[in-house]
């Protein structure tokens, strides 16, 4: 193994150089507000961890090296740790308690579609589990496969497959390999005057293949659409062979098989090429903040913008609790932490100069007529800090807080009830466990028929915080399914949502999904226990 594979922080979110520490004043405030206890485990150092011995036989390892070359197979401790699970709070809490049981036995980096096919065939023959790995940012247990005792597993890291394969200017299409990460994809497109307009919170680290495999939705989805809506063609490698899907912008030629792999989370095959619709890079951007009286009134205004326009590129409405804790709220009329009420709405506009000016001017008339007041600087403050929240989460974990998120989507008519029911379920569950919670929420993705709800939960860690959160998440998931909302809008199913996903599918739908899995992956090596 002549070189280390390497990725982002193995013990927290993103770039280790951007990790945060709470100031003494903030730490004291959080301790008082949440009733934190001393002694919560912090992230261990690399030297404190001892991984289980690799389960790969010498023969199996040699076969992997034969396919991709020895320098592209890594079995070192750090490489395996950097591909251990994803970045959810339970993932990090398990690491802090020295649970390394899901670590892959090797990290393998193929360089082509042909190599992926050969690796899948070899692993199927060996019964070695394969976990496709993009940026490693899953927050729903999407990188923790279920395996039998003694069964070997590899992380199939697609970072070497990072080329822009084709650019069709006339059709405004680009074909990429799956390992290219968000910032680099945008940089390459900008050189040609285009953008994907896809900026989820994981944007800095997640890959294009991961966006497709989880049906990702970015913060500018109101303007540019979800990632899966931009996919026009896919190339997929499976243990049974290759699939080339998507020959035209629209088709009536039977069911759209692309939809099998969009959202499949590496359980049915490995996406090795993606063709995406492009948008012209915007000439101008404008982000504005608005102060609204309450979440109900704000939701109604957001619905009007989504259905009747002008629809902003970015729409984000925080409820009263989230607004009170949002630093972007400071200085807004009637707002700021502890200022006593109101909600913050962020609207973002992108396009030509005339489009931005005319659409934002029209929206301003609608908002002001409804009693909204400008929140000076809040839009730009949100834009500047939109990727920072996970670093704060890690600092709060160090302080002994449990901080995690969950999300759903529903129709406008049921949104107030879903909001109340999910919030109540989380609050009641954590209160019953002796850890009263602060629950925040915002709307960040809107459609003509409905919107997403994104909840952030904070409380003190219990003795077993993983079990503590699983109980609260189960209560929230039960409430979501009972209300008829989706179990996930953009985080994917993983293993965390799997049981509720099957409840939504029903017995026949679940049987159909399992039949597809058996056809494409008869040995069951692709990310078992995730999704299916």
What the block records as the tokens of 467 is 């079990």
Q: How confident is the model at residue 334, as a pLDDT? A: 40
Checking if the pLDDT of 508 tops 80, the result is: yes
Q: Which helix (H) or strand (E) holds 211?
A: helix 208-213
Mean pLDDT of 35-60: 90
Instruction: Report residue 37's pLDDT band, with 50, 70 and 90 as the boundaries.
Output: confident
CB under 8 Å to 484, separation ≥6 — which residues? Answer: 410, 414
Share of the chain above pLDDT 90, in %: 90
In what side-by-side order are the strands of the sheet with 73-74?
73-74, 106-108, 153-157, 129-133
pTM to 2 decimal places: 0.95
Query: Is the bond preceding 310 in cis, omega lying within 30 degrees of 0?
Result: yes
Q: Are strands 106-108 and 153-157 parallel, antiparallel or unpaired?
A: parallel
| CA pair distance 367, 362, nearest whole angstrom | 9
**Average pLDDT of span 480-488:** 98
- For residue 502, how many other CB atoms are within 10 A of its CB? 18
Non-local (6+) Cβ contacts of 39 within 8 A are: 400
Q: What is the pLDDT of residue 9?
A: 87
Identical fold, 284-385 and 389-496 = no
Assigned token pair, 378: 């809040």
Give bridge partners of residue 154 from the DSSP assignment. 106, 130
Do 493 and 265 meet the contact criterion of CB atoms below 8 Å apart? yes
Average pLDDT of the residues of the chain: 94
Residue 10 banded pLDDT, cuts 50, 70, 90? confident
pLDDT for the residue 327: 55
Query: What are 299-348's pLDDT values in tens digits?
Result: 999 999 999 999 999 999 999 999 998 754 444 444 443 344 699 999 99
- pLDDT of the residue at 177: 98
- Comparing CA positions, the residue from 114, 79, 69, 92 lying closest to residue 12 is 92
| CATH topology assigned to domain 389-496 | GMP Synthetase; Chain A, domain 3 (3.30.300)
pLDDT at 320: 97
Instruction: Over range 200-204, report the average pLDDT.
Output: 96
The correct CATH number of 164-280 out of 3.30.465.10, 3.40.50.720, 3.90.1010.10, 1.10.10.10 is 3.30.465.10
pLDDT over threshold 80, residue 1: no
Q: For residue range 115-140, what is the model confidence (pLDDT) as tens digits?
A: 999 999 999 999 999 999 999 999 99
pLDDT for res 480: 98
Residue 139: partners with Cβ closer than 8 Å, 6 or more residues away: 86, 87, 88, 91, 405, 491, 494
Short-list 196, 183, 220, 488, CA closest to 347: 220
413-437 pLDDT tens trace: 999 999 999 999 999 999 999 999 9
- Give the 3-state DSSP-derived string for 49-72, with helices as H, strands as E and coil as C: CCCCCCCCCHHHHHHHHHHHCHHH
Place of tokens 């398990």: 94
Q: What is the pLDDT of residue 513?
A: 97
Domain spans in the chain, listed from the N-terminal domain onward = 164-280, 284-385, 389-496
Q: Residue 442 in 3-state DSSP?
A: strand
CB 220 within 8 A of CB 150: no
CATH code, residues 284-385 = 3.30.70.3450
Q: What integer pLDDT is reported at residue 340 of this predicted model?
A: 47
Give the rounded distance of the alpha carbon of 414 from its chain centre: 24
For 413-437, letters b (16+ CB in 10 Å) and e give eebeebbebbbebbbebbeebebeb
The residue among 489, 466, 343 whose CA lies nearest residue 406 is 489
Nearest to 456 by CA among 314, 326, 339, 346: 326
Q: How far is CA 50 from the centre of its chain?
A: 29
- What average pLDDT does this structure show over 194-205? 97
Task: Report the pLDDT value the prediction gives residue 5, as an integer from 0 to 100.
Answer: 56
Three-state DSSP at 317 gives strand
SS3 260: helix
- Burial pattern 213-241, b for ≥16 Cβ within 10 A else e, equals bbbbbbbbbbbbbbbbebbbbbbbbbbbe
As a whole number, mean pLDDT of residues 464-473 equals 98
Strands of the sheet with 343-351, listed across from one edge: 373-374, 284-292, 343-351, 314-318, 438-443, 450-460, 401-411
């Amino acid at each position: 193994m002549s070189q280390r594979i390497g990725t982002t922080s193995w013990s927290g979110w993103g770039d280790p150089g951007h990790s945060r520490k709470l100031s003494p004043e903030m730490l004291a405030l959080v301790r008082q507000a949440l009733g934190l206890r001393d002694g919560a485990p912090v992230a261990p150092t690399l030297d404190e961890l001892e991984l289980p011995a690799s389960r790969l036989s010498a023969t199996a390892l040699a076969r992997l090296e034969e396919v991709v070359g020895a320098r592209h197979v890594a079995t070192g401790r750090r490489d395996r740790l950097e591909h251990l699970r994803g970045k959810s709070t339970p993932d990090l809490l398990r690491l802090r308690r020295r649970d390394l049981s899901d670590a892959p036995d090797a990290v393998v980096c193929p360089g082509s579609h042909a190599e992926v096919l050969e690796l899948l065939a070899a692993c199927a023959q060996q019964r070695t589990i394969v976990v496709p790995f993009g940026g490693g940012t899953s927050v729903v247990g999407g990188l923790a496969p279920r395996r039998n005792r003694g069964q070997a597993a590899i992380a199939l890291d697609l970072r070497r497959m990072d080329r822009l394969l084709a650019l069709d200017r006339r059709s405004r299409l680009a074909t990429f390999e799956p390992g290219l990460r968000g910032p680099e994809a945008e940089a390459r497109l900008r050189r040609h005057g285009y953008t994907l307009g896809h900026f989820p919170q994981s944007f800095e680290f997640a890959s294009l293949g991961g966006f497709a495999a989880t049906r990702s939705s970015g913060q500018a989805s109101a303007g540019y659409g979800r990632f899966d809506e931009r996919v026009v063609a896919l190339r997929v490698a499976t243990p049974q062979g290759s699939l080339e899907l998507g020959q035209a912008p629209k088709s009536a030629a039977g069911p759209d098989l692309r939809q099998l792999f969009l959202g499949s989370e590496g359980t049915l095959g490995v996406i090795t090429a993606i063709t995406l619709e492009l948008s012209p890079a915007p000439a101008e951007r404008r982000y504005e903040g608005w102060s609204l009286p309450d979440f109900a009134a704000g939701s109604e205004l957001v619905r009007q913008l989504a259905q009747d326009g002008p629809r902003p590129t970015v729409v984000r409405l925080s409820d009263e609790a989230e607004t009170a804790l949002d630093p972007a709220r400071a200085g807004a009329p009637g707002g700021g932490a502890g200022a006593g009420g109101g909600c913050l709405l962020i609207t973002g506009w992108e396009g030509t100069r005339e489009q931005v000016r005319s659409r934002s001017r029209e929206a301003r008339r609608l908002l002001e007529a409804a009693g909204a007041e400008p929140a000076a600087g809040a839009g730009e403050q949100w834009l500047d800090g939109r990727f920072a929240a996970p670093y704060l989460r890690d600092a709060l974990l160090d302080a002994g807080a449990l901080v995690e998120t969950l999300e759903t989507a529903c129709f406008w008519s049921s949104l107030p009830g879903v909001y109340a029911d999910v919030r109540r379920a989380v609050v009641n569950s954590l209160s019953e466990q002796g850890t009263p919670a602060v629950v925040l929420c915002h709307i960040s993705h809107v459609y003509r028929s409905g919107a997403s709800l994104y909840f952030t939960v904070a409380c003190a860690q219990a003795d077993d915080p993983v079990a503590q959160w699983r109980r609260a998440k189960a209560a929230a998931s039960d409430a979501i399914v009972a209300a008829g909302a989706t179990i996930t809008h953009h985080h994917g199913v993983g293993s965390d949502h799997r049981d509720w996903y099957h409840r939504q599918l029903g017995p026949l739908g679940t049987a159909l999904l399992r039949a597809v899995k058996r056809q494409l992956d008869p040995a069951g090596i692709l990310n078992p226990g995730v999704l299916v």
